[in-house]
Structure 1
Amino acid sequence: MKRLARTAIILGATALLTACDPPAGNAIAVNEVTAPERADDTVANRADADAAKSILRPVEDEVAPPEPPPVEPVSLTISFADRGITLSDDAKTALDGLIAAPAMVTGGAITLRGHSDSRGHDGDNLVASRRRAEAVADYLLEKGVPRERMTVIALGENRPVAPNAKPDGSDDPEGRARNRRVEVEVQPPPVLEAGEDAPISNAATAEE
């Protein structure tokens, strides 16, 4: 009797445990449904994180190339120490250097102002000052500078940079030599609006 009762108890306990465990097939089904759901949640979380980073991260602007420095005007004084109208070798060397200046290369307007000393008749001095300025223009033309960029102005003896005579009234050769000159001024090209054509100035000879 005791053996039968013990066997009955064991069988009953085994049946109770078996009833509590879910079937193997159900366990597989749960795993098959849960795994994709977890994967989808992970992908969604990553997408949200990437979107947040994209919103918070500043957009890097494209680095623009540096603008070239502005073209500056340039000036030069050509001396005619011997009272003539012929360019000296030093004057030609100075003009060669001027031709390489950015204002010259970029096509700026050129003004040539001729001057003389006070010796002689005013009219003759005016003509001499113009011929000196034209001698500079001719040299620049030989070097390939368009004539239409140049304006010649004859000033004669009206604007000296040094006294033509000493305080006692005697002649001042050094002062007169400094006054026989051509002042060359080159301006940078004008800044044009979009679609605007560059103006073309005609060659001119003026007297002031």
Structure 2
Amino acid sequence: MKVCRKILTGLALTTLGLLAACGDTTPQPAASEPTEPAKSIFRPEFQIEPIGGERPPPPLDARIFFPEGNELTEAARADLATIINAPQVAAGGPIELRGHSDAGGSDADNLRISQQRAEAVKAFLVGNGIAEERIATIAFGEQNPIAPNALPDGTPDERGRARNRRVDVHVATLAPVAGEKKTTLAETLSETADGAEGSAPSD
């Protein structure tokens, strides 16, 4: 009996020792981690473009040719009508008319005729509703040819000279106003969602 009692006492002590070594096994609640602010579901490239603000069209460049003199041909008038209906003109940007000539006359004559050609184009634009203050004219004379004025043997290159008798039309586009901030698509959707949550009936 004494032996059995010693054995039981030993087993009890061993069990208590094991329980003490294991410690408290009661599950503890996990420590809460700091919450991060909600991230947008839109990639950055989709948040740059302002909603309702279309990108301006690129600048427009065109050429009006003059077979001779400073009179507009029917082809030139048709080309100008196309320019007038272009989105760049409708956007309201400034228009620059650069008059040119061939090398067939004196410097003074070429400068004068190139100015007259630019003025002829300007008169057509103004006559068709374009504000005069938007238009600037510049005379270059024979300074900026786009084709040879003479053949290799020195004789006039009539085809090249015809291409040099021209007005270059440049229509610039208006740049966005500095400092102006427009609402992005992501911001608009976020504001709409917030408004819907605020107006939702409570349970």
TM-score under structure 2 normalisation? Answer: 0.62
Identify unmatched segments of 5+ residues in structure 1.
Answer: 1-56, 196-208
What are the residue-to-residue correspondences of 1:91-102 with 2, within 5 Å?
Answer: 91-102=76-87
1:78-103 deviations in Å (ceiling 9; x for gaps): 0001x210111111111111111111
Would the alpha carbon gap of residues 168 and 191 (structure 1) be closer, same or farther in structure 2, given more than 3 Å must change?
same
Would the alpha carbon gap of residues 59 and 141 (structure 1) be closer, same or farther in structure 2, given more than 3 Å must change?
closer
- 1:146 Cα deviation after fit: 0.5
Q: Is the 8 A contact 2:98 2:167 kept in 1?
A: yes
- 1:106 Cα deviation after fit: 1.0
Would the alpha carbon gap of residues 118 and 105 (structure 1) be closer, same or farther in structure 2, given more than 3 Å must change?
same
What are the residue-to-residue correspondences of 1:1-208 with 2, within 5 Å?
Answer: 65=51, 67-81=53-67, 83-193=68-178
1:126-149 deviations in Å (ceiling 9; x for gaps): 000000000000000000101100
* SS class of match (1:169): coil
1:55-88 deviations in Å (ceiling 9; x for gaps): xx99999x9856423321001100001x210111
TM-score under structure 1 normalisation? Answer: 0.61
Structure showing greater relative contact order (alpha-carbon pairs closer than 8 Å, 6 or more residues apart): 2
Identify unmatched segments of 5+ residues in structure 2.
Answer: 1-37, 181-203
* SS class of match (1:162): coil
Q: Is the 8 A contact 2:59 2:88 kept in 1?
A: yes
Would the alpha carbon gap of residues 59 and 173 (structure 1) be closer, same or farther in structure 2, given more than 3 Å must change?
closer
Q: Is the 8 A contact 1:160 1:179 kept in 2?
A: yes
Q: Is the 8 A contact 1:103 1:189 kept in 2?
A: no
Which deviates more from structure 2 when the two are superposed, residues 94-103 or residues 150-159? Answer: 94-103
**Which residue in the other structure is 2:32 paired with?**
none
Instruction: Say which one has the larger Rg.
Output: 1
RMSD: 2.5
- 1:124 Cα deviation after fit: 0.6
- 1:164 Cα deviation after fit: 0.7
Give, in whole Å, the separation in 2 of the partners of 1:144 and 1:118: 34
Which aligned runs of 4 or more in structure 1 are off by greater than 2 angstroms? 57-61, 63-67
Q: Is the 8 A contact 1:114 1:133 kept in 2?
A: yes
Give, in whole Å, the separation in 2 of the partners of 1:90 and 1:77: 11
Q: Whose helix proportion is higher, 1 or 2?
A: 1
